[in-house]
Amino acid sequence: MIVEEKKISSEEKFNGYIMNVFKDEVSLNGKKAFREVVRHKGATAVLAVDKNKEGFFVEQFRYPVGKPLFEAPAGKIDPGEEPLACAKRELYEECGVLAEKWTELGPMFSSPGFCDEVIHLFLAEDLSESEPNPDEDEFLDIIKLPVSEVLERVRKGEIPDAKTQILVLRVCDLLGIK
């Protein structure tokens, strides 16, 4: 049985650059409970695939997990920015890639147990390459690999980043990559 929780009150505990943290009191079947919630501005992730079915990925150190992660290019949505515009910007900044064809692959929630972050997923095709232009605090390596090889790494559990796993699976399904 699904029971909807209703917010009674909300207290902001932290106001940050990309997220805010709240302690909410909720009503749950007539009883009160507390929820700690991270409110996030939203993000995009994009898998750019060339005519040879090779994809552009990045590897960068992720401080919260203490190690580099292999990922699809991604980034937060700026205020007033549409998800597709964000995806185009991030792909160009991180990989120096422009695309003529864009396919929206739907949203995903990164950690819905405590966070409302939605990541909008995209496939980019008909590519042209130039020099990347990463943010000044962004240090990453660009990795171009056959998408089929990355799919195999996802299947083996070698890529722990959820947005990249989901994006690779959706792209492979759409493009018929086994």
* Cα distance between residue 71 and residue 142, in whole Å: 10
Tell me the three-class secondary structure of 36-105, residue by residue: EEEEECCEEEEEEECCCCEEEEEEEEEHHHCEEEEECCEEECCCCCCHHHHHHHHHHHHHCEEEEEEEEE
Q: Catalytic residues, which ones?
A: 136
* Cα distance between residue 126 and residue 146, in whole Å: 16
State the number of CA atoms in the 13 A half-sphere of 69 facing the CB: 17
